[in-house]
Amino acid sequence: MNPLPATAALLALAAAFVGVPRRAMAPSPVGRVLAVLAALVTVPTLEEAAAWPAAALVTGAAVFATPLPCLFGAAAAALSALAAPVPVSHVPFAPILAALSLAAITASVDTETGARLRSGLDSGWPSVIGGLGLCLALALSGDGQVLGWRVALRSSEKLVTLPGAGLVAGLTLLVTLAGSLGLAAHLLTPAVPSGLVRRFAGRLLVLGGGLAILSAGYVLYRGASFPEMLPAAAPGWAAVLLGTGALVASLAILIGDPVRAEPQPWLGRASLEARIGAGLAVAAAAAAGVESWLGAATYATPATAAAASAALLALAVVEATKWSLLRKGLLIVALVFVLIGA
């Protein structure tokens, strides 16, 4: 494990959680300092060209300093710490621009969510999204191993099952899914009094968040005995880290006191951040085309296709209209695929 990206991941996580209790999703001074420290820690890793996209995402998190970019930066740094070094002959500009775009779009999601919370959005919705995101990450990690109540580390030569990890991860999935669906049912039926359901679902989500932290920590602890196997499991558990952080952060919103304020200034800020992210996504598509032409003498490459798809989605988030958060979520997924394929 590379200690520098691991340290950056811890600092970015701390920056994310510092900003959440304010409920406004606005940058926190302490959180910004922690995010800047995380970005500075990644500077020595820039000797390797493959480390630039993760460093760019952490740097973008330091610029915006809201919880969601910091969580994505922490996940990218954790992936960089666990994954095997990938030889890259040149600095990949398209993934760097995509990473900066991802930071801007996630910041826009934070700001718009804060504005909607100010204008009366129920504080339970972020927890529903965070819980379902964690469930999806757990279900997909390790090719669906958690669905079979097992967690194993693989290499090209052997398979090592971690005793007890599958039980904890499976319980995390079930408890979090039950809490998310229960809270969603409560929110979707406002005419039916269901305060007891809300409280019970909230407690299930708190338990799921605790189990997720325990599960991720246990896998990392046991996996340290097999360092040659950690790179293969790194993407799945980086996603679990992101989902866990999102759930824990959203629980701080759920438990905190409601905030009411004028949302319009924050909607304007969210629109500006979305435009910055969209411009960077279009620039990433252009850079991907140039890099594909220089490297393969053709634009018809998977990297160009992924970046172009993200750019088209980016054009849909420029204007703040109905379902803007959904469109931004789709753009986030597209940008993640651009970075994964880099």
Return d(Cα 43, Cα 237) in angstroms, integer. 24
Q: Check residue 20 and give its pLDDT.
A: 67
Q: What is the DSSP letter of 342?
A: -
Return d(Cα 306, Cα 283) in angstroms, integer. 13
Nearest to 42 by CA among 93, 86, 79, 16: 79
Question: Residue 237 half-sphere exposure, CB side, CA atoms within 13 Å?
Answer: 27
CA dihedral sign of residues 278, 283, 284, 286: positive
H or E element: which one contains 178? helix 165-188
Residues 6+ apart with CB under 8 A from 62: 32, 35, 36, 38, 39, 73
With beta carbons less than 8 A apart as the criterion, state whether 243 and 212 touch.
Answer: yes
Q: Check residue 323 and give its pLDDT.
A: 85
With beta carbons less than 8 A apart as the criterion, state whether 278 and 288 touch.
Answer: no
Residues 6+ apart with CB under 8 A from 126: 113, 249, 250, 253, 254
Q: Check residue 163 and give its pLDDT.
A: 84
Return d(Cα 69, Cα 74) in angstroms, integer. 9
Q: What is the CA 191 to chain-centroid distance, rounded?
A: 34
The pTM (predicted TM-score) of the whole model is 0.91
Cα Dmax for the chain: 63
With 0-12 CB in 10 A as exposed, 13-18 as middle and 19+ as buried, what is 140? Answer: middle
3-state secondary structure of 160: strand
Tell me the pLDDT of the chain (342 aa) as tens digits.
678 888 999 999 999 888 665 555 667 788 889 999 999 999 988 888 778 999 999 999 999 989 999 999 999 999 988 876 666 667 789 999 999 999 999 999 999 988 888 888 888 889 999 999 999 999 988 777 888 888 888 776 778 888 888 899 999 999 999 999 999 999 988 877 677 888 999 999 999 999 999 988 888 888 777 777 878 788 888 899 999 999 998 888 888 766 666 777 878 889 999 999 999 999 999 999 999 988 888 888 888 999 999 999 999 898 777 788 999 999 999 999 999 876
Adjacent-strand bridge partners of 59: none
CA dihedral sign of residues 210, 214, 220, 223: negative
Nearest to 311 by CA among 293, 333, 285, 291: 285
